[in-house]
Amino acid sequence: MLAKAIALAAQAHVDQVDRAGQPYILHPLRMMMRLATQSAALRTEEREDAQIVAILHDVVEDTPTTLDDLRAAGFAERILAAIDCVTRREEESYDEFVTRSQSNPLARLVKLADLEDNMDLKRIGMLTDDDVARLNRYHRAWRRLQTTDNDKS
């Protein structure tokens, strides 16, 4: 299923570029690789699930592809639930979105990888005030997602 997810994401993001003008697909690929190396404590199936969610994490939010399309392609409900949690809804504030991402353990792992890649300053040329504000927002979200229920007790 991972190969299928990579092919689907590559096709869905085919004409998209990131803020630096690079092919957008490189972002989910970096996340997928980050989760492959950082998730050593996960069972093989959980690691692959995290990689699948990572590669597909922006497909529903940024392309015409829907969760039903992914379901029809054969992706498991646990994958779809995590993708749904990392897909920001139009009416949702950023804080609400982060809280929803935190509610699903698989989504939480993927959102952390997403934020870590988005905060990588090597991807950004000259920092603007908007970039600094976005990086601060990402860092606050990353700190929130780092805190688990066990950390709060």
CATH code where residue 139 lies: 1.10.3210.10
Q: Which residue has the tokens 């597909």?
A: 56
Tell me which residue range forms the domain holding 11.
2-152
Q: What is the 3-state secondary structure (H, E, C) of 25-56?
A: CHHHHHHHHHHHHHCCCCCHHHHHHHHHHHHH
Q: Is the CB of residue 1 less than 8 Å from the CB of residue 74?
A: yes
44 pLDDT above the threshold of 80? no
pLDDT of 109: 93
| Percent of the chain residues past pLDDT 90, beyond the cut | 63
pLDDT of 132: 79
Largest separation between any pair of C-alpha atoms in the chain: 46
- Lowest mean pLDDT of 41-45, 59-63, 109-113, 146-150, name the range: 146-150
pLDDT of 20: 81
| pLDDT class of 139 with cuts at 50, 70, 90 | confident
Structure tokens at 105: 């353990």
Burial 68-99 (b: 16+ CB within 10 A, else e): eebeeeebeeebbebbebbbbeeeeeeeebbe
Structural domain total, the chain: 1
Pick from 7, 56, 38: nearest CA to 113:
38
Q: What is the mean pLDDT of residues 89-109?
A: 93
Q: Is the CB of residue 89 less than 8 Å from the CB of residue 115?
A: no
Q: Which residue did the predictor score with more confidence, 60 or 128?
A: 60
Q: Is the CB of residue 97 less than 8 Å from the CB of residue 88?
A: yes
